[in-house]
Amino acid sequence: MEHASETEVTDAGRHIRSLSSALQQVIFGQEELIQLVLTGILARGHILLEGLPGLGKTELVKGLSRTLDLDTRRIQFTPDLLPGDITGNPVLQEKDGSRQFIFQPGPLFTNIVLADEINRASPKTQSALLEAMQERRVTVLGETHQLPLPFFVLATQNPIELEGTYPLPEAQLDRFLFKLEITRNDVGTLERIVNDRELGTEPEVHPIMDETTLGNILSLVRRIFLPEVVGNYIARLVDATHPGQSSAARSIKFGSSPRAALSLAASARARALMNERTHASFEDVKFVAPSVLRHRIILEYNARVEGLTSNEVISSLLEEVPFQSGNTPGTLQQTSSN
């Protein structure tokens, strides 16, 4: 595959900067969060947004759908939501003089699915998303139906400590490229919200790029060069999440899967493009690693009792695993990733 040229990367970077600026008018004081959401979209991944109610998770996703001008549907997850409510169901209809079951697509048949408060639905309904997230298709009564492309699931969830929530199955968590944690606003941001927003009104945003432009940029991400030394770093970093492979892993019960390594590579390429570079770097991997790994490691019981968090373990891993091992040939000149 031909690698991306500097001209292509510069042109794509201009569109991405415009997209980022528009989203910063939707949700204030969350520049890094916006950068990570855009990185996840460019890497063709699904994103899980976790935070307390009212912090702007849903508004961010709605703003993203408007700026990308993609078909979007919102699914409010509740305890009584059934799998067929999101995938669709066969409905008995008259056709050619006979009564037949005709499949009626559910809200999953769109480009961007806003799965609001996903952890309020039962595990059975949550698991109905697995095939859609991994294969971009759904199977109902033995019949398979392809979903539109591009297809993204952007799910919001409240912290599991809140009443009426169900933990997501590990298999489903692994399908999310990123898990992003949304923190509360500082005083300056709250003051800006008070002065610039009114209760019950939505910020006005306009489409920044059409589906064709987005498709070209998504294809360009795959052509960003991933040097062998960076690929080796990704492999060693994921391997270090398993018990016995690093000091930090002493607090980990189960480490990350190969899907984590693929996710690191894809998101590192996406971040390189966002910074208008034709190659991914060690720093790109380090930047996206917490978002890729925090939901893909399970801590030991004693570590959780002691108050240790996944973020702290990942920080230790990043400090412990060097960019290059002694057995890795070649070097990679670092480029500022801003």
Element (H, E) at 179: strand 176-181
What are the pLDDT digits (tens) for 78-124? 888 998 999 998 888 877 778 888 889 999 999 999 998 888 888 78
What are the pLDDT digits (tens) for 202-227? 777 888 988 899 999 999 999 999 99
Distance separating alpha carbons of residues 137 and 109, to the nearest angstrom: 9
What are the pLDDT digits (tens) for 244-272? 898 988 999 999 999 999 999 999 999 99
The packing angle between helices 57-68 and 31-42, to 10°, is 50
Domain definitions of the chain by residue range = 1-80+107-222, 224-328
CA atoms within 13 A on the CB side of 170: 11
From 5-19, 133-147, 289-303, the region with the lowest mean pLDDT: 133-147
Architecture per CATH, domain 1-80+107-222, reads as 3-Layer(aba) Sandwich (3.40)
DSSP 149-178: SS-EEEEEE--TTSTT--PPPHHHHTTEEE
DSSP 63-83: HHHHHHT--EEEEE--TT--H
Q: What is the mean pLDDT of residues 229-237?
A: 96
Distance separating alpha carbons of residues 109 and 118, to the nearest angstrom: 17
Q: Sorting pLDDT into bands at 50, 70 and 90, what band is 337?
A: very low
What are the pLDDT digits (tens) for 268-299? 999 999 999 999 999 999 999 999 999 999 99
For residue 42, the model assigns a pLDDT of 96
CATH of domain 224-328: 1.10.8.80
Q: How many CB atoms lie within 10 A of CB 149?
A: 11
* Residue 136 vs residue 170, higher pLDDT: 136
Q: What pTM, to 2 d.p., does this model score?
A: 0.88
What average pLDDT does the structure give for the chain? Answer: 87
Which parts of the chain fold into alpha helices (H)?
A: 6-24, 31-42, 57-68, 83-87, 123-127, 129-135, 170-173, 187-196, 211-221, 228-239, 258-274, 282-293, 301-305, 310-320
The packing angle between helices 6-24 and 57-68, to 10°, is 130
